[in-house]
Amino acid sequence: MNKMTVRDIEVSDKRVLVRVDFNVPLDEKTGAITDDSRIRATLPTINYLIDRGARVILCSHLGRPEGKVVEKLRLVPVAQRLSQILGQQVGVTTNCIGSEAGKSVKSLKSGEVLLLENLRFHSAEEMDSTLFARALARLADIYVNDAFGTSHRSHASIVRVAEYLPSVAGLLLEKELKTLGSILENPAHPFGELIGGAKVSDKVGMLENIMGKVDYLLIGGGMAATFLKAKSYEIGLSLIETDRLDTALGLMQTAARNGVHLLLPVDVAVADELSSKAKVKVVSVENISPHQRIVDIGPQTIKNFYQELRRCKTVFWNGPMGIYEIPQFAEGTKAIAKLLSSLKATTVIGGGSTAEVVTDMGLANKMTFVSTGGGATLKFLGGKALPGVEVLLNKKTQ
């Protein structure tokens, strides 16, 4: 990585504004944090700064409040969780800019940590406003981007703020870029990609970019229906992207041209309705009836995928294999997660929901790396520069 990091800059006693991605999943009813991985993932940077006596000012978004104060998207529970994990009090402001934030920063001592309120309570954040970026920048001496998961967004706290402060990468951002960069540039072969989730359109850029690099491409999840339809299978009521059938065909042709072994499901779990009461049946892909929808991959498909995955030295997985939220449609995803955790390969998990599955199953520490990025990971693996990385200072050449 040619970007400067917190290690390359004097932080002692400095006011350091750290953009983190504390956009954690919350329980719909209770509002409790259901997965704190994104908070834990920033500990190396936060501890690094505390240990060196920096005055740490964290800022993040949570959810999509669209420029308004939404009470249930306040960062108080996040600050509480971070306080517990750090074993030191993390204060939280009621507004990320303005006089109260200024006062809180002023009283911050070396080694103390403050969290600014949800950035997206101001529409100026997503509008990449110069004024807003300057208001944030005024609070600090140095800017650190550790929000890998948001680095694909050209928002004020991600890109614009870097115009006003010396700006470097945090340790999580560095680790993400190194790990994902190495699977993109020099993966150990055979290299397998296992892709699921609902939409082909979200993944086309990534799939096109990795075509010349992977040996195996295994496709499951909702998006498999579009590929099956493109191959003229009856897919019943399964949701597909009709405007992506050509894309799917094109991808299959590119795979064949590049010698990529592309596998689609040979059997699937189908149901008449998308509910936990639905009856689930496993059928071969030739036998899907018009009133059924695909909800998961089937056991023979899992076996076929395993045959290829066990040969791999590197595996990247993004996207559930079925509708994971409904327990009886989660079997395929669970089987795949277990299988990956047992491989001797380098296993990299990308993406919000895939990372949540792995964490939920207690398998995160059995994988080589679980990325904190969803959209950011896809964009990066699609070969695109991330705006939040571009703006950081380059390493000085000797």
Residues making contact with ligand 3PG (CB under 6 A): 21, 23, 64, 149-150, 153, 352, 374-375
Buried b (16+ CB within 10 A) or exposed e, 139-156: bbbbbbbbbbbbbbbbbb
199 is catalytic: yes
Where does this chain touch Mg ion (CB under 5 A) — which range of 101-109, 289-297, 306-314, 368-376? 368-376
Residue that has been written with the tokens 């006062």 in this structure? 103
Determine the Cα–Cα distance for residues 345 and 384; give it in Å rounded to an integer. 26
Reply yes or no on whether 221 is catalytic: no
Helix ranges (H only) for 186-296 are 204-210, 223-230, 245-257
Stretch that binds Mg ion, among 187-195, 220-228, 286-294, 374-382 (CB under 5 A): 374-382
229 is catalytic: no
Catalytic residue among 38, 55, 74, 81: 38
Q: Shortest gap between Cβ of 375 and Mg ion (angstroms)?
A: 4
What minimum distance in Å lies between the beta carbon of 373 and Mg ion?
9
| Candidates 52, 138, 199, 313; catalytic one | 199
Q: HSE on the CB side for 115, CA within 13 Å?
A: 25
Neighbouring CB atoms inside 10 A of 24's CB total 20
Q: Candidates 119-127, 181-189, 373-381, 385-393 — which segment interacts with Mg ion by CB under 5 A? A: 373-381
Which among 29-37, 120-128, 153-161, 367-375 is the span making contact with Mg ion, rule CB under 5 A? 367-375
- Residue whose token pair is 């704190």: 36
Sheet architecture: strand order including 15-19: 90-92, 113-115, 55-59, 15-19, 142-145, 167-169
| Residue 382 is a binding residue for Mg ion (CB under 5 A) | no
25 contributes a contact to Mg ion by CB under 5 A: no
- Residue 77 sits in the site that holds Mg ion (CB under 5 A): no
Compose the 326-365 pattern: x for residues touching Mg ion by CB under 5 A, - for all others. ----------------------------------------
Task: Report the residue number, 260 or 370, with the smaller CB distance to Mg ion.
Answer: 370
Is residue 65 reached through a cis peptide bond, with omega within 30 degrees of 0 on the bond before it? no
CA 211 to chain centre: 21
Q: Judge whether 375 counts as a catalytic residue.
A: yes
For residue 46, the surrounding DSSP H or E stretch is helix 43-51
Distance CA 74, CA 118 (A): 6
> Given the rule CB under 5 A, which residues bind Mg ion?
374-375
Q: State the catalytic residues.
A: 38, 199, 352, 375
